[in-house]
Amino acid sequence: MHVDRIELSWFRGAGAAAALDTAQKSICIYGPNGAGKSTFVDAFEYLLKGGKIEHLSHEYSGKRQEKAVLNTHRPADGKCRIEITFAGNRKVSAHIPPNGAATFSGTDIIKGWDIGRLLLRQNEVSRFIHAAKGEKYSALLPLLGLTELENTAVNLRALAKAIQDIGRMGALRAEREALLTRFRECFGGKGKDAILAEVQRLHRKYVPNGPVTTDIMSGAAEIAAALDARIASLELENRRFFLLQGARRADCLKRFLSVQAEGSKAASAAQELVDEKLAILNDTVTYATKLTADIQITCPACGQEISSNEFKRHVTAEQARLSGVIAAFNARRRALGDLASALETMRASLNDKALESWRAENAQQDVLQALTKLAELDADALRNTITPEQQECLEQTLPKLTSWLDDALRRAPPGAQELVTHKDIIAVIASVDRIRELGERVTSLEALHSFVVEMEVQTRQEIKARSEALIAEISADMQRMWATLHPGEPIDEVRLYMPDDADKAIDIAVKFHGIAQPSPRLTLSEGHRNSLGLCVFLALAKRDPEQSRPIILDDVVTSFDREHRGQVADLLMKEFSGRQLILLTHDRDWYVELKFRLPHKEWNFCLLQPWSDPRTGVRVASSRSDFEEAKQLIAVSVNAAGNVTRAIMDVAMGIIAERLEVPMPFCRGDKNDRRSAVDFMQHLRSVGRKALRIRNGSEGNYPVDVP
């Protein structure tokens, strides 16, 4: 799917009409700084990203980047438009109105195109090298085609958490543990036979006329019924005892203290987090509107530039971090629920009519007041929250009531305590079914939970295995490309690797003068880092499943010296023959060198004229600036032919002078780039004279005539 033509109108630096023809070949475009080269690149990115350009994602560009995308000096009737024609006259276009709400057409042609493998800009060359291990992983994952696996792993982790929460695994385990503890307290290490013997003993006592029981559970059920009947038939004094016992066993004071403890834990867990989250929330609100697919945003948590998908992963991580606080609040809510239930039980017992006269006879005045206060409390409302007034009320009443109940229970009527003890034993035996049921439920949930957790582990292993295989292939490409760019240099064995100490991480290793380095940032110069960044990009581009897509390199050799720039031409010819490349550069010498070296059968060359003003916009020069053009011009205008020839010579002589190591004096401003062939010739002559003098030992005795 080669690009044939890019046409722009009032887009970015383009005026009414700017067109770039490639004739479906690779193309090298030269333009001095500010000539508008990147306008073409921006147009490409705008279409690929459905109306977004990464470097324009900032607070000044407007919601739809309309303040940056539309030419600032377009006339009132100037329509902003992009159209890219691909091979087969297939067109993709965008019409961008003043509000930036673009309408696109033909985008199915570029659907699924991965910009990370198609476009590299100057400022992005070393970005990958400098990124953290986790960022490299996130950046490479989609390029490795493993996003689906990563999504799967994230969803499996969340699913395991959902099973834990919905299944109330923690609460079920706690309930089972409490019942087991009671059972052990009651029976210690006694076996089934000993428990049966105890049941038979109680059965004889409370069901004397029944047949001897041989089944623990049915025997316990009969005893429980007999005990209830006996308690119901007791005299008033004994019944009062059971009511007081019930009120005391609700243990409101203990539950109230538990509420206070959990409240304190929740408060301390929340305080720091609340401050932090409030600050984050303010930033998040600003960025929430930008959460569309594939845009770059600044993460409010860490301040780094990340994609919106990565941001969502951050949010998921934050939610996980919040789970500790959520657990603390849940524990407090549970404690409140327990307290509310206990209060209801205690009040029901103490307000029983059977206790009315007894209460009046025995309770002190302050205890009666406490009972009245407690009666006014809305226990149901306590299940959600507790007010400072309610807290104060409970602080004042519960210790008094507890102490009063303890006092009253010490004066238990004879025989009543024994009934309570036996009732407890039977309740513990009856809880065996519940313990078993809870055990089965917890085992089943734990098995499911462990399986889902293991499946996440397996998915991560799958990601790692696939990544390593792909990374090995990419590393082989990188090494070959690096060797082309840096033949014989003592930096080699460049490769991607997955560190053992991190789950979601990728980094780059190099060998520097024979010593392995875990990161190029330790020893490599900026130029070498950029060179490595270019190799990484090109290695990934080479892995694009669709090799007919173009690769765009926008000013990517800025920090390379001449020698390495020359190697880039070799690299492109060797590795990307047949692939359409769109190179943009502001380096005139490199442009000319490429023009000499790259095969014209596969390559076109194009010049952009220097920028004049935003209304005129980007201008593609009509001249091809080659000897063929000069030859054709001779018939029309000798002067014009001479001008073209001189322009070619101006650049060619610069390259020749540099290869001959002819020192050129430094000029101010852009004059270094505007030297003419005559300047070079003069310096070449001067250096030539000097060299010959040295060689022959005397001035004036030249073996050849130096002009």
Interface positions, 439-468, toward other proteins (CB under 8 A): 445, 447-448, 450-455, 457-459, 461-462
Q: How far is the CB of 54 from other proteins (least distance, A)?
A: 22
Interface positions, 214-273, toward other proteins (CB under 8 A): none
Number of residues forming the site for other proteins (CB under 8 A): 30
Starting from the edge strand earliest in sequence, which strands make up the sheet with 491-497, in order?
491-497, 507-512, 515-517
Residue 141 in the binding site for other proteins (CB under 8 A): no
> Which residue in 6, 47, 139, 163 binds other proteins (CB under 8 A)?
163
Residue from 274, 435, 271, 256 nearest 346 by CA: 256
Interface positions, 314-353, toward other proteins (CB under 8 A): 316
- Burial of residue 127 (number of CB atoms within 10 Å: 0-12, 13-18, 19+): middle
- How many other C-beta atoms lie within 10 A of the C-beta of residue 45? 20
Question: Both tokens of residue 278?
Answer: 């409030």
Q: How far is the CB of 155 from other proteins (least distance, A)?
A: 4
Report the b/e string of 152-183 with b at 16+ CB within 10 A. Answer: bbbebbebbbebbeebebeebbeebeebeeeb
Region from 127-135, 144-152, 407-415, 670-678 binding other proteins, contact rule CB under 8 A: 144-152
Question: Which CB atom, from 343 or from 445, has the smaller least distance to other proteins?
Answer: 445
Give me the phi and psi of 510, to 5 degrees please: -140, 165
Distance CA 477, CA 473 (A): 7
Question: Which CB atom, from 155 or from 268, has the smaller least distance to other proteins?
Answer: 155
Q: How far is the CB of 157 from other proteins (least distance, A)?
A: 10
Distance CA 320, CA 96 (A): 41
Question: Which CB atom, from 445 or from 540, has the smaller least distance to other proteins?
Answer: 445
Q: How far is the CB of 334 from other proteins (least distance, A)?
A: 20
Residue labelled with tokens 């001897």:
212
Residue 313 in the binding site for other proteins (CB under 8 A): yes
- DSSP lists the bridge partners of residue 105 as 93
Residue 149 in the binding site for other proteins (CB under 8 A): yes
Q: How far is the CB of 451 from other proteins (least distance, A)?
A: 4
Q: How many CA atoms lie within 13 A of 378 on its CB side?
A: 9
Residue from 489, 575, 502 nearest 537 by CA: 575
Residue 292 in the binding site for other proteins (CB under 8 A): no
Residue 403 in the binding site for other proteins (CB under 8 A): no
Question: Both tokens of residue 360?
Answer: 């009046």
How many Å is the Cα radius of gyration of the chain?
42
* C-alpha distances out from residue 495 to 225, 470, 568, Å: 78, 12, 19
- How many other C-beta atoms lie within 10 A of the C-beta of residue 201? 12
Q: How far is the CB of 435 from other proteins (least distance, A)?
A: 21
Residue 155 in the binding site for other proteins (CB under 8 A): yes
Residue 152 in the binding site for other proteins (CB under 8 A): yes
Residue from 369, 294, 337 nearest 57 by CA: 294
Region from 152-160, 209-217, 273-281, 397-405 binding other proteins, contact rule CB under 8 A: 152-160
Question: Which CB atom, from 87 or from 317, has the smaller least distance to other proteins?
Answer: 317
Residue 171 in the binding site for other proteins (CB under 8 A): no
> Which residue in 47, 53, 139, 156 binds other proteins (CB under 8 A)?
156
> Which residue in 72, 99, 105, 151 binds other proteins (CB under 8 A)?
151
Question: Which CB atom, from 167 or from 527, has the smaller least distance to other proteins?
Answer: 167
> Which residue in 159, 269, 326, 432 binds other proteins (CB under 8 A)?
159
Distance CA 641, CA 646 (A): 9
Question: Which CB atom, from 149 or from 536, has the smaller least distance to other proteins?
Answer: 149
Residue 148 in the binding site for other proteins (CB under 8 A): yes
Question: Which CB atom, from 149 or from 592, has the smaller least distance to other proteins?
Answer: 149
Q: How far is the CB of 141 from other proteins (least distance, A)?
A: 13
**DSSP labels, 523-573:** T--HHHHHHHHHHHHHHHHHT-S-TTS-EEEESTTTT--HHHHHHHHHHHH
The site for other proteins (CB under 8 A) is made up of 148-149, 151-152, 154-156, 158-159, 162-163, 166-167, 312-313, 316, 445, 447-448, 450-455, 457-459, 461-462
